[in-house]
Amino acid sequence: MSQSSALNMQTPNPMKKKIITALIAVVVGHMGVLWAVGQIKTPELKPIEKEPLKVRFVKIQEPPKPLPPKPKAEPKKEQPKPKPVKEVKIVEKQLPPPPKKVEKVQQVKKADTPKLVIKPVEAPPKPTVTTTVSETRVVKPAPVTPPPAPVAPPAPVAPPSPPAPPAPKSVVIGSGVQWSRSPRPSYSNSDLEGQTRNAVVYIEANEKGVITSARITRSSGLPALDEKILRSVRSSKFKPYKENGVAYPIKANLPLELTLNPNG
């Protein structure tokens, strides 16, 4: 057994030989093809010269917009023309001349005396000539009446003027009218310049007692002192003055005496 196996190992299989030879032939063929390809020279390609493209920009003009159709003019209305007046000619027909008078002669018997009797023949009545005049009417256009004139609006009625305020009544301060807030002028002995000063103030107040006007009618002799007196009077107030339950404005004179303060 050992000898037969050794012989088999030494003798190669014919199929394997064929396969090996085929593989060698394929490898040799590929190598030959590669060698042939390596020997082929690549043809030189000539560059193709082309002219550069010229580009020109063209503005595309939009088609003009169609003009709107013109409004059709309204046909003017023709005014009716007056119909022409036909002239009618009156034709005078000439009357035929009147027939001549025919005298009839009657034969008279011989025994009688011959007398000629002439009888007038009446003329035929004159034919009456009738003329007809055709009437034509002229149609006149209707008169155009002008539009009525605009009526002016009535003038605005002025509002009634308010009643005039009642005249202020003259009163005496202290008896006819009372103070609600009496005037108290502030001053010092230096303002009086060492002596007592007297002044009179004319006052007007409304129905509520509010002082509306104040002026010096008799000065104290010192303008600065007069100004202090007026400021004090204008800031004061009366109680409403009433007569029969009706309030009235008032006017009064206020005498003032400004004395020296012993304490200085």
Element (H, E) at 32: helix 14-39
Is 252 part of a structural domain of the chain?
yes
Q: What is the pLDDT of residue 219?
A: 92
Q: What is the pLDDT of residue 39?
A: 78
Q: What is the pLDDT of residue 188?
A: 87
Is 146 part of a structural domain of the chain?
no
**252 and 173 in contact (C-beta within 8 Å)?**
yes
Write out the two tokens for 155.
């003038």
Is 247 part of a structural domain of the chain?
yes
Is 77 part of a structural domain of the chain?
no
Element (H, E) at 22: helix 14-39
End-to-end CA distance of the chain: 173
Q: What is the pLDDT of residue 239?
A: 92
**211 and 239 in contact (C-beta within 8 Å)?**
no
Tens of pLDDT, residue by residue, the chain (264 residues)? 444 444 445 455 778 888 999 999 999 988 888 888 887 766 666 667 767 777 777 777 776 676 777 666 666 666 666 666 666 566 556 666 666 654 554 554 444 454 555 555 555 555 554 444 444 455 555 566 766 666 677 777 777 776 777 788 889 988 888 999 999 998 888 888 888 999 999 999 999 999 999 999 999 999 999 999 999 999 999 999 998 889 999 999 999 999 988 776
Q: What is the pLDDT of residue 222?
A: 92
Residue 233's domain spans which residues? 169-258
Q: What is the pLDDT of residue 7?
A: 44
Query: How many Å apart are CA 242 and CA 139, to the nearest integer?
Result: 87
Domain CATH for 203: 3.30.1150
**166 and 249 in contact (C-beta within 8 Å)?**
yes
Is 254 part of a structural domain of the chain?
yes
Residue 252, C-beta contacts closer than 8 angstroms, at least 6 positions apart: 170, 171, 172, 173, 176, 177, 202, 203
How many domains is the chain partitioned into structurally? 1
Is 181 part of a structural domain of the chain?
yes
Is 250 part of a structural domain of the chain?
yes
**Whether this model's pTM surpasses 0.75:** no
Is 238 part of a structural domain of the chain?
yes
Q: What is the pLDDT of residue 187?
A: 87
